[in-house]
Amino acid sequence: MSAKPQGWLNRTVLGAGLTSALGDFCYETTTVILPGFLAVLGVPAAALGIIEGIADAIMSFTKMAAGYVADRFGHRKVLVMIGYGLTPVGQVLIALALGWPLVLVGRIVSWFGKGLRGPLRDAIVVQSITPETRGRAFGFHRAMDTTGAVAGPLLGVALLGWAQGLTWENAAGPFRMVFWMTLIPGALAVLAFLTLVKDPEQSANPELKFFSTLRGLPARFRDYLAAVGIFGVGDFSHTLLVLAATQLLTPKMGVVHAAQVAGLLYVWRNVVQVATSYPVGVLADRYGQRAVLVAGYALGVLTAALTALAFAFAAESLAVLAAIFFVAGLYVAIQEALEPTVTAEMVDQATLSTSYGALGTVNGASKFVSSAAVGLLWTVISPVFSFGLAAVLMAAGTLWLANVRDH
């Protein structure tokens, strides 16, 4: 029997937040320097897209399987720890790589771990708090998570710059050193989850069947997943937003300086997300989870529309671009904090992990399609068309979400 939830900022919420910060510190550091590492290995840019696409797809479908396995057999905490432990294993493989195949294997291992742990960790967190405080608890968790995503890349770039001043056999040496150093926060993430997080230990349900469980999910939750999926098909990766800023600023600054400024704009987006995640959760607890999520989706529409307009008018203003990245950070804060809490409102606790797995799979699959489509249409037609279409799709998802029935 589950223990009665305590105050929202309890040991489990704090431990899960710290674990996520350390986990993001580990793999986001790799994400920001991986393109440079592949470049010095002589790996073409197309390989990076293939590597990231395969890894993202594996992560998305792992979430579904992980949620089902946890609901059927239990042992969620052990599975989450395995998931966090696989991230540094993947980092080791990347650090040892001499070409793209081992980088691909390392990325797959890390992203498999990420898919394994995500829905199970969220289920543990949601069962450690009361329904009335889910918004602020998940807002706090996402703020901690994004703090690691800000600090990791900044420190990684600084370490890379320092390491380049040392003596190495080849240009890949400084990158490998940073990869090896990411093992420290990776190991600490596992330790933090082991020592701080208490799993409410939902009873195993060995009679649970995968497809019948999916068919048995509430109709309004399936309707909600449809809204998430439609919005997600327009919700492009913000790596493309960085590329957009780079292209818009290049005529004024030159490509190198423009790329640096675009990178800082992405950090600014993450800072906005950190600063607003908890206040967003408080608002959601007060005014309703789904109402605030609808507002967040509307801000996503605004982000895509403003980006299309920036290309239409060849905007070179740093203030305009900073405003776009601000709106992007705000809508991502709302989206990541509240999609799990709305899920928890709609489903039975016995299938909570499976439901989170379904949410993660829909999100991952739709965003993979979105990023590929926006990038392709940008190249074949124009960025105005691609971001404009993204805005239309996101608007359709927003309207669908607003009309999901309450019961």
For residues 272-306, one letter each, b for 16 or more C-beta atoms within 10 angstroms of the residue's C-beta and e for the rest, the string is bbbebbbebbebbbeeebbebbbbbbbbbbbbbbb
Q: Based on the structure, what is the number of domains in the chain? A: 2
Same domain, 258 and 154: no
pLDDT at position 312 is 95
Query: CA angle, 81 as apex, 149 and 365 as ends, to 5°?
Result: 60
Q: Is residue 372 part of a domain?
A: yes
Predicted confidence at residue 6, as pLDDT, reads: 58
Is pTM beyond 0.85? Reply is no
Cα angle 336-103-86, degrees, rounded to a multiple of 5: 55
- What's residue 407's pLDDT? 57
379-386: long-range pairs with CB below 8 Å, 24+? 382/311, 383/244, 383/247, 383/307, 383/308, 383/311, 384/308, 384/311, 384/312, 385/308, 386/308
Which of 165, 196, 227 represents a domain boundary (last residue)? Answer: 196
Q: Among residues 196, 226, 247, which one ends one of the domains?
A: 196
Instruction: Annotate 248-282 with three-state secondary structure.
Output: HHHHHHCHHHHHHHHHHHHHHHHHHHHHHHHHHHH
**Within this chain, do residues 217 and 179 fall inside the same structural domain, yes or no?**
no
Tokens of 208: 């649970």
Asked whether residue 184 is assigned to any structural domain, the reply reads yes
Same domain flag for 89 and 229: no
Q: What is the pLDDT of residue 294?
A: 96
- Say what the pLDDT of residue 32 is: 72
Residues 158 and 217 in one domain: no
The confidence score (pLDDT) of residue 224 equals 93
**Residue type for position 75:** H
171 and 277 both lie in a single domain: no
Of 147, 162, 196, the residue at which a domain comes to its end is 196
For residues 285 and 342, the answer to whether their CB atoms sit within 8 Å is no
Report the pLDDT value the prediction gives residue 193, as an integer from 0 to 100: 93
Question: Which domain, by its residues, includes 347?
Answer: 213-407
CATH code of residue 91: 1.20.1250.20
- The 10s digit of each residue's pLDDT in 176-235 is 998 999 999 999 999 999 999 988 766 556 666 555 666 777 888 899 999 999 999 998
Do 224 and 362 sit in the same domain of this protein? yes
With a cut of 70, which residues of the chain have pLDDT below it?
1-6, 35, 45-46, 48-49, 53, 73-74, 201-214, 256, 406-407
